[in-house]
Structure 1
Amino acid sequence: MDTQHDNALAHALAAIPGPVPPSGVIHIVIPHTNRFTVVGNHLAQHAGLSLVAIGIGVHIQSLPAGSEISIKTLAARFPEGEVKIASALRELEAHGYLRRTRVRLAKGRVATRTVFCNQPGAVLRGGVVPGAPGAPVVGAAVRNPAPAPALVREHLRATGPEPTLVPEPEPARVPEPARVPEPARVPEHIRVREPEPTAVAGARPAPIRLPAPTAPKQPRRPLPHPHALTPERRQAASALLADLRRHAVELVLSEEAVEELVPGVAAWLERDATTDAIRHALTADLPKPLRHPARLLRHRLTALLPPPLPGVHDLTAPRRAPVTPFQTCDGCERAFRSHEPGHCRDCRAPYGEAA
């Protein structure tokens, strides 16, 4: 039988209306029928947010109301660490997408209330406050919203303060936009504290500045290198790194990681460290779970590098200078330093004149 060729991609490209661009991405758009979330380009193509912040913002917007989005929950869900996720949440909070406030419960406990706004630009332009009558429902999940391009175009042409258009849960209905002359008062614990919109129509909001970092990031120390990387040391270091998975199943390294870490192990061998000592330093007290074994080994090879062994002459005690002993003067019985007994300096002069 001959090899079967899948021509589905070629047929899909042929069905694209209009000319195909000579370079760049080509979109094959297939309408979703279930399990989808509408995300604005102001978030997906935000110029001031990092890629991690944009991804976390899209993920939070796709979650149902009441989902846990703490730093530890997101760190357990994604490979990024807690520091990177916390920085991304601060970016979303600085640009108005996320709001975290502390509220006091009925029994005196303090809890953190998290509010995610899918369109903070509308809040700044029109004064729409989440939770007010006629405003978007905070955290409401919309199932299969029907497309409404005419309403979207009408909303984009509007110049005055307009509420955001949110379709009803029924897929076939789209509510008419309700005009709100002025923002209604809402309770203090759910009000979004943003700068007050200016009275001039079309005025741009003040730029939001990101908070300064609390501490400067320390530069990463370079991996130690030996003075002379001989073939024997390279072979021994490569074999030791490849053999680590026999002693710790978490330390499975790729060939590229082994070649990168060979100079560090060779520096230990150059300083007369035994293979057992190096293996114990690299495999003892491994964190659970271990996500990046190569980074951990690089850190330990750099931070735990032992000093060179001292020489034989360095270990001998320093010789003390000879000390002149004390003598008692035969004339005045005072103490003075001399290798032989006799008279001190003051008594020596009269005895010299008499002699």
Structure 2
Amino acid sequence: MDTQQVSVPAHASSPVSGVVHVNTRQTSRFTIIGNHLAQHREMSLLAIGLSTYIQSLPAGARIGIKKLAERFPESEARIAAALRELETHGYLSRTRERLPNGNVVTRTCSYNQPLSTVCRHPEPRPEPRRYIPTPPAPAPAAPVPLPHPRKPLPQYVRAATALLADLHRHAPQITLTEKDVTLLAPLAVTWFERGSTPGALRHALTADLPKPLKYPAKLLRHRLTVLLPPPATPATLVDPLQNCNNCDRAFRAPSPGYCRDCEAHPCEA
């Protein structure tokens, strides 16, 4: 009896080592990945895998760092680093855009070819800066105007000059030069025109002096201006003392001239 010969199909010789591909033809739910990505020599496996996952998602899917960290066991820091790798090598771009309602969103584009071989998505033009005029700086406050005597009578000028020159006897820290006395005298004359007495003026200038007193002339000018009493009313206004041009008798009058007795006897005068 003849022995039946069973023919066995010859198997292809398998390599001793290395990977063996057992491929099944995909007909649905597949993504085509280029070897330039799958075999990239400079990116990490996490970046390559993350790019593969992103390209498999439908358009409009959210791929923020927090969203990816919820999907995969890697931390947000590692996922953020992988996204930066994909941006560096041209497989991902992220741009910020402002919506018509004013909100700012991040637009992400995934590329199945690196940007060096495809047309880069045009970057959105930044919104032109609106010119907002800077409001003008407020004008500095006008300095307080210095008072001026209405009619500087000679006796008022002499009294004011003597009072200012004698202040150091009442307050040793007040040291004035001749120029200081000349400049401050008209201010003191204004006090006398408004009915102030020498004692009241001296007290206003020497009371509660700061220690140390660095600039006595400036302090006196400030006090003579700020503490100036109001103008005297006609009811309280007192005419200054005058010396009669005939008998040299003292009398009160708004201007120099003759006393009442000399005016009553003009022939004798």
- TM-score normalised by L of structure 2: 0.41
TM-score (structure 1 length as normaliser): 0.31
